Structure 1
């Protein structure tokens, strides 16, 4: 999630997630991780609204209770501060959501890019021998 919050590939940490402000790249240019299947949907804006509204609401309340601030200042500063905070947090939060989906193996992130350019992708949950208890015990099904 931290790599995604910083706008980096959740797999390698080198490539960038975003091609534009909120457009996720189809794949990582560095490691080849397929990211086109992510489903961030409405969670990033919801989290940003939740966080920004609590911060701005608290600051407005504190300012109103403690100081006599002119109305013209309130009507110009708080909308600009809210918009600035929301725009600053939206991309990092979306990157963190993509990182969370990667960490949990959701929406096609269950496979990792292969080491070479050829060959099948490996499962992020380990080779088949480690996942199958019969294979670990040396019992092969015929």
Structure 2
């Protein structure tokens, strides 16, 4: 009986975790394993454990990744839009600055926790940084 239990544990330890569902759940700020429990306990603070499935989430190492991705996405969206608005409509500089600074800040605040959740979901699916334990 003990050998069978050890074999079952080895199988579940190496079982494939689907990447894209975990990343999507993280983007929605939900647990990458169950998709039901909240991933964050505040704006950017990841919970130590899922409140639904009790998955250990304390192993994540998102570090500066979400900030870099946010800058990348916001910059690539806003720079061409700024050029198009400036060449097409020629608004006053203060109006242009006000609209685009508010847009950049709003988009950054929206994306930052979602991209952090996506990175945590990616790390969970790929068993990175201590997420390699049993399911």
Q: Is the structural similarity TM-score above 0.5?
A: yes
Correspondent of 1:28 among 40, 46, 50: 50
Partner of 2:67: 45
How many residues align structurally? 113
Query: Hey, what's the Cα distance between the residues in 1 that align with 2:119 and 2:97?
Result: 33
For structure 1, list consecutive stretches of 5 or more residues without a partner in the other structure.
112-122, 125-142
Structure 2 residue 102 is the aligned partner of structure 1 residue 80 = yes
Partner of 2:8: none
Structure 2 residue 116 is the aligned partner of structure 1 residue 100 = no
Correspondent of 2:78 among 56, 64, 88: 56
For structure 2, list consecutive stretches of 5 or more residues without a partner in the other structure.
1-22
Which protein has the bigger helix share? Answer: 2
Normalising by structure 2, we get a TM-score of: 0.81
Structure with larger Rg: 1
RMSD: 0.9
Deviations 1:54-80 (A, max 9, x none): 111011100111122111201211111
Stretches of 4+ moved more than 3 A in 1?
none
Q: Mean Cα displacement is larger for which, 14-23 or 58-67?
A: 58-67
Normalising by structure 1, we get a TM-score of: 0.77
